[in-house]
Amino acid sequence: MADFELQRIALPTGVELNVAIAGDPANPPIMLLHGFPESHRTWRHQIPALARDHYVIAPDQRGFGHSARPEGVANYTPDKPVADLLALAEQLGIGPFTLAGHDWGGAIAWMAALQNPQRIARLIIVNAPHPLVFQRSLFDDPAQREASQYITAFRNPDFEQFLDRIGLEAFFDTSFARHADAALLAPEKPAYLAEWGQPGAMTAMLNWYRASAISVPAPGETPERPAWLGGPFPPVTQPTLVIWGMQDGALLPCQLDGLDALVPDLRVVEIADAGHFVPWQKPAAVTEAIRAWLAERGG
């Protein structure tokens, strides 16, 4: 028996999302957002555990999994998935809710929480950098800048031709699996390849990077710093839990530096023996951290 139900939900934002839903709608709601190059499956271990006492909503975000893949880079600017998640909450009739995000899902969760404190009551971030900390690190931390050069590669309009030449399985083995535990990934590989192999799927996922305004200087480059890096930045007002796999080779632990000044009500849980894909690399530790924090916060 499945741990969740999959629904196809049409939103007024113009997309249909494939959404995993579990738990009693009368319980406190929590929405889980995945990142690249995954789907709701990122949270496959957390969904049933959280559903014991929460109403759990885990969509495939636009362009990912089995959700709609609108054409054009402009359909993937961060405001679009923020609008999707708010519309999804409205469609399901939920009030203020806990929002959790990993990787790109975390980037969207940071933005949504900053802009919509009346809708998002609590924030959970898993290996996803705060926008100000991340952009600063790309200018000031050579190691993070080096680690982020994959973003420039993904933005290359010829990247899909490269994928066609090497094949999706080679991309899985060389670009995805090297950031994760190969043994844990092996049983999931067919599902990932099936999602990625749909027409237009890889372009849609890559368009998230192409639509982002984040600046990624080349190693050794000294471009002019964006003016907003030196200006005031609004604080995150929600109680916030940040979970970080400390062996992340793409988003380095420097992303935790200075975070407490931007998030007054902050709890950080470091997981020493996990990398970027910590929700399924160390699922028990992630689930325990989330459930314990939510119990403290009455959510």
Q: Give the residue numbers marked as catalytic.
A: 103, 209, 276
> Token match 């420097």: residue?
254
* φ/ψ bin of 63: left (φ > 0), alpha (ψ from -120 to 50), beta (otherwise): left
User: What is the distance between the alpha carbons of residues 165 and 147, in angstroms, rounded to a whole number?
Assistant: 24
Q: Which two tokens stand for residue 266?
A: 């902050």
Give the tokens for residue 133: 């900390």
Q: How far, CA to CA in Å, does 95 sit from each of 41, 86, 143, 194, 198?
A: 25, 10, 41, 35, 34
Beta bridge partner(s), residue 16: 10
Strand 97-102, strand 55-59: pairing: unpaired
Could you tell me which residues come within 8 angstroms of residue 221 by beta carbon, excluding any fewer than 6 positions away?
none
* 253's tokens: 């632990």
Q: Helices 104-115 & 79-91, crossing angle to 10 degrees?
A: 70
d(CA 5, CA 23): 10
Token pair 């007054």 in the structure block, residue: 264
Q: Write down how long the chain is.
A: 299
Q: Which long-range contacts (CB under 8 A, 24 or more apart) does 179-186 make?
A: 179/248, 179/249, 179/250, 179/275, 179/276, 179/277, 180/275, 180/276, 180/277, 180/281, 181/275, 181/277, 181/281, 184/280, 184/281
